[in-house]
Structure 1
Amino acid sequence: MKHMMKHMLMLNMFRNCLIFLCLVLPLKISAIEVENLYSAKVAVASQSNGDRNQALKNALRAILVKVGGNDIAHPLITQAINNYSMYVTQYQYIRSNNKVLLNVSFNEAKINQLFKASDLPIWGQLRPQVMVWLVEEDGFKRKVISATSNSFLPRVIDDFSQLRGLPLVMPIMDLTDLNALTLTDVWGRFSKPVAQASARYMAEAVVVIRVSNSSLVASQNNLLNCPQCRVNSLAVDWSLMTDAQNEHVQMFSEQYLGNNVDELLTAALSDITDIIYQQYALSTTHSNEFEIDVANIASLVDLIAVSDFFAELSAVQSVQLISAKGTNRRFKLSLIGSQQALLASLKLSEQLNRYVDPLAAPEGLEQVPVFYWGKK
């Protein structure tokens, strides 16, 4: 009897510890630190001076889109593109798939200064991973396109990911995926099964993209009474969950009509990226101060590591330690941009985990957010 009671007590303690950990250590969100953010590979017609200079200019345009998050129309940006040589650090010719490319690297500090001088937002290297469920409808047949499908569509998605610096992942469609959801779940864009099936990929956002040459096209041609719409042979649409691991709130697109699937898919991905970008872009126009508590700082080494962590964030201009109590430290951060952008970036961190007290006041009334420091 004593042995049984002791066993029950240990089980209760273990369960309580699990509950505590679930409250203190929320589910990890997968974020990707984008590499080569300030370099680009662009096609070049030849190695002549004229073609090389045009390729360098195109490469800078691509970098400005990748760093800025979207296409930018600004006088200083236009001037910079015309003076592209000021920003180039090195370039080299490479061959890929029987094509000649120019691999160009640019000066990170000068690019960032350009955005600051233009009062334009920038996107840091830490970016959310996006799960892409792509369904292709060909006549009466539908199939989910996996990362290894015998289709050119994954290449289109991968090329876009490289171009815009947005980490995109496609399902592997193994037995786990096949048992987690059905084709109807994906085509019907049912948020709950899609979100549950996406959980194993630990993505911050989940998107379902539908590509059709039949039912979606027929639907549009019946709805829209215009000759121009009837000549379109393809339709693409999407639904997006920007916080798929919490509330499964979706937004839906209008349909993209046309005849070129590359262009339609790229247009859809561009609009999706713009929406995601708005949550993480860092405005350079305003600076403000923000206080944050970090717990579990047990040594001077930890304190230095946390300070360095904040100092390296794109959103943070300066860091100041303002108080200490036990293993808790309070920091004052001078921000570039909004508090919302900072918290969105911290949500992607593997080293800081936000503690949310279920008995505390609503989030809007919370004075100082509390995070737990955890070493990698």
Structure 2
Amino acid sequence: MKHLLMHFMFRNYLIFLFIVLPFKINAIEVVNLYSAEVVVASQSASDRNQALQSALRAVFIKVGGKEINHPLFNQAIKNYQKYVTKYQFIRKNNKPLLKVAFDEGKVNRLFQDSDLAIWGRLRPQVMVWLVEEDGLNRRIIASSSHSPLPELINNFSQSRGLPVVMPLMDLTDINAITLSDIWGRFPQAIAQASVRYGAEAAVVIRVSNSSIIANEALTADCPLCQQNPLALDWSLMTDVQNEHRQTFSAQYQGDNASKLLTSALNDITDIIYQQYALSTTKSNEFDIEVANITTLETLMAVTQFLQELSAVQSVQLVSAQGNSRRFKLSLIGSKQAFFDSLKLSGQLNRYIDPLSAPLSLAQLPVFYWGKK
């Protein structure tokens, strides 16, 4: 009884900390967007060339955030040699691989010429809570679980360039969230438990052979589900810091958990991509003010930071007054995409007067430099 009471008090203390302390949201700068490692059958010219084409296709998926079927891209894959900067044969886990790097500028120009959106290097960290139900038994799949699904999720993360983390399910997680919280998809509990992982988005995926299977899964409409029926569904919070609204999926049916999970991850990534992708067809000039630039070093740091944002095409300092500096930005995509990039970085924070009327995108935004 004493043990249960202490467990209850400790869990409530953790929840209190999660509520009163500010959320810390991390973005991940994805590296190696313009390189890929692909399996190669041999070092012969024909196998190498086929692997080079596969590598370029993989880079298009990472940079564009999704599978791309476009005439210019199909032609580029045929003319892959124009984009290759270097390659080498390597071995990993006893597998022969070809490691290929591609020209970033040429790849980006291809997206611009095709009027297709790109996904910048700064991407949201996605927390995946995965629960398997087998009959009456349920278990949370941790990152170290003896299951093929964590490896599948990791491989998917690498191929799509989406930073994904799974729970450790150590003592901290066990005391922060329950299996019932996850299975019931209670947003506040999930958001609070995802904080330690620096998650921007959180997704709950449920795989079951019992309670969530719809009656249709046992009918002739799903012949593959007859012998070993499985169902999968998911819910997604794209902003665990400020919102607990969830998007709920329809049910996925089949007899193979890996295939169902891959389909779900593709759909989830597409939703996240739509929020953060940058249109290459829109170019907007946009002024901002940074209010606390007191040294030349800070000015250079702010300028470099803005130049490196994937949503920004160019930066120009246009005026100075006291410690305030006004910059004119040429944006790739919308102003909202620019604000999303800033939210992920946490380095340039917008000042909002709590007593003023709600801000519009048309107003001159004022920022302060430095982590909160």
What TM-score does the superposition give when structure 2 sets the normalisation length?
0.89
Is residue 2:328 matched to residue 1:332?
yes
Which residue number in structure 2 is paired with residue 367 of structure 1?
363
Deviations 1:77-108 (A, max 9, x none): 11101111111111122222232221111111
Amino acid at match of 2:221: C
Partner of 1:282: 278
- Structure 1 position 144, deviation (Å): 0.6
How far apart are the structure 1 equivalents of 2:39 and 2:255? 24
Instruction: Indicate the residue corresponding to 2:232 in structure 1.
Output: 236
Match of 1:148 in 2: 144
User: What is the CA deviation profile of residues 91-131 of structure 1, one whole-angstrom value per residue up to 9, with x for unaligned ones?
Assistant: 12222223222111111111111111111111111111011
Q: Give, in angstroms, the shift of residue 61 of structure 1.
A: 0.7
SS at match of 2:213: helix
Please name the residue that 1:11 is paired with: none
* 1:3 matched residue in structure 2: none
What are structure 1's unaligned runs of at least 5 residues?
1-24
Aligned to 2:221: 226
Match for residue 198 of structure 1?
Answer: 194
How far is the alpha carbon of 1:62 from its aligned partner? Answer: 0.8
One-letter identity of the residue aligned with 2:366? V
Q: 1:259 to 1:51 in 2, by over 3 A?
A: farther
Aligned residue type for 1:115: F
* Structure 1 CA distance for aligned equivalents of residues 134 and 297 of structure 2: 59
CA distances 1:40-70 after superposition (whole Å, capped 9, x unpaired): 1111222222222111111111100100011
Corresponding residue for residue 55 of structure 1: 51
Indicate which of 29, 35, 40 corresponds to 1:39: 35
Query: Pick from 131, 134, 145: which aligns with 1:135?
Result: 131
1:354 match:
350
Whole-angstrom CA distance in 1 between matches of 2:178 and 2:282: 47
CA distance in 1, matches of 2:286, 2:194: 34
Quote the residue 1:6 is aligned against: none
Question: Are the aligned partners of 1:242 and 1:276 in contact in 2 as well (CA < 8 Å)?
Answer: yes
> 1:239: Cα distance to partner?
0.4
- Aligned length in residues: 351
Shift of 1:191: 0.8
Task: Supply the AA of the counterpart residue of 2:135.
Answer: G
CA contact 2:132–2:138 (8 Å) conserved in 1: yes
2:225/2:253 contact within 8 Å kept:
no
Asked if the contact 1:120–1:284 (Cα under 8 Å) also holds between the matched residues in 2, the reply is: yes
Letter in 2 for 1:280: Y
2:311 and 2:357 mapped to 1: Cα distance? 26
| 2:60 equivalent to 1:64 | yes
Q: CA offset at residue 261 of structure 1? A: 2.1
1:75 CA drift (Å) = 1.0
Q: 1:26 to 1:333 in 2, by over 3 A?
A: farther
Amino acid across the alignment from 1:253: S
Q: Any residues of structure 2 matched to 1:210-359 within 5 Å, and which?
A: 210-217=206-213, 219-221=215-217, 226-228=221-223, 230-231=225-226, 233-359=229-355
Larger mean CA deviation between 311-320 and 235-244 belongs to 311-320
Work out the CA distance in 1 between the residues paired with 2:209 and 2:263.
Answer: 17
Partner of 2:103: 107
Any unmatched runs of 5+ in structure 2?
Answer: 1-20
TM-score normalised by L of structure 1: 0.88
Contact 1:220 1:229 in 2 (8 A): no
Percent identity (aligned): 67
Moved more, 72-81 or 254-263: 254-263
Map 1:63-82; keep pairs closer than 5 Å: 63-82=59-78
Whole-angstrom CA distance in 1 between matches of 2:178 and 2:118: 39
CA distance in 1, matches of 2:181, 2:272: 24
Deviation at 1:365, TM superposition (A): 6.3
Distance 1:215 1:323 in 2: 63
Cα distance change, pair 54–61 in 1 and its aligned pair in 2 (3 A):
same
> Aligned-pair distance for 1:197?
1.0
Distance 1:241 1:40 in 2: 30
Once residues 259 and 106 of structure 1 are traced to their aligned partners in structure 2, the CA distance between those partners, rounded to angstroms, is 39
Give the aligned residue type for 1:34.
V
**3-state SS of 1:124 partner:** coil
CA contact (8 A) 2:217 2:253 kept: no
Task: Please give the secondary structure, in 2, of the residue aligned with 1:197.
Answer: helix
Matched residue SS, 2:349: strand
Matched residue type, 1:355: Y
Residue in 1 aligned with 2:8? none
